[in-house]
Amino acid sequence: MSKISNTVRVLCVGDVVGSTGRAMFQKHIPHLKEKHAIDVVMVNGENSANDGRGITARVIEELKKSGADIITSGNHVWDKKEVYSYLDQNVDVLRPANYPQGVPGVGSTIITTPHGHSVGFVNILGRVFMRENLACPFRTADSLLTYLKSRTSTIIVDFHAEATSEKLAFAYYLEGKVSAVVGTHTHIQTADARVLPGGTAYITDLGMVGSLNSMIGMTKESVMRQFLTQMPTRFAVDTSVPLVLSGVLITIDTANGRALDIEPIRIYDEELVIQKD
User: Which CATH number does the domain housing residue 154 bear?
Assistant: 3.60.21.10
The answer to whether residue 2 scores a pLDDT higher than 60 is no
From the CB of residue 266, how many other CB atoms can be counted at a distance below 10 Å?
12
Choose the weakest-confidence range: 47-61, 71-85, 145-159, 221-235.
Answer: 221-235
Establish if 91 belongs to a structural domain.
yes
Distance CA 127, CA 133 (A): 7
Establish if 260 belongs to a structural domain.
yes
- Res. 26 pLDDT band, cuts 50 70 90: very high
Average pLDDT over residues 128-144: 93
Establish if 277 belongs to a structural domain.
no
The predicted pLDDT at position 273 comes to: 74
Structural domain range at position 70? 7-269
Average pLDDT over residues 145-161: 97
Quick one: which of 10, 16, 22 has its CA closest to 208?
16
Average pLDDT over residues 26-50: 97
Establish if 274 belongs to a structural domain.
no
Establish if 107 belongs to a structural domain.
yes
The predicted pLDDT at position 233 comes to: 87
Q: What is the 3-state secondary structure (H, E, C) of 201-259?
A: EEECCCCEEEECCCECCECHHHHHHHHHHCCCCCCCECCCCCEEEEEEEEEEECCCCCE
Among residues 28, 31, 76, 115, the one annotated as catalytic is: 76
The predicted pLDDT at position 200 comes to: 98
Mean pLDDT of the chain: 95
Establish if 196 belongs to a structural domain.
yes
Please, what is the Cα angle at 15 between 241 and 21, to 5 degrees?
A: 35
Establish if 2 belongs to a structural domain.
no
Q: What is the DSSP letter of 77?
A: T
Average pLDDT over residues 185-212: 98
Number of domains in the chain: 1
The answer to whether residue 274 scores a pLDDT higher than 80 is no
The predicted pLDDT at position 1 comes to: 56
Average pLDDT over residues 103-130: 96
The predicted pLDDT at position 132 comes to: 75
The predicted pLDDT at position 232 comes to: 86
Quick one: which of 65, 18, 23, 59 has its CA closest to 41?
65
185 annotated active-site? no
3-state secondary structure of 266: strand
The predicted pLDDT at position 34 comes to: 96
What phi, psi does 233 have (nearest 5°)?
Answer: -135, 140
- What residues contact 2, with CB distance under 8 A and at least 6 apart? 37
Establish if 186 belongs to a structural domain.
yes
Quick one: which of 115, 104, 108 has its CA closest to 5?
115
The predicted pLDDT at position 272 comes to: 86
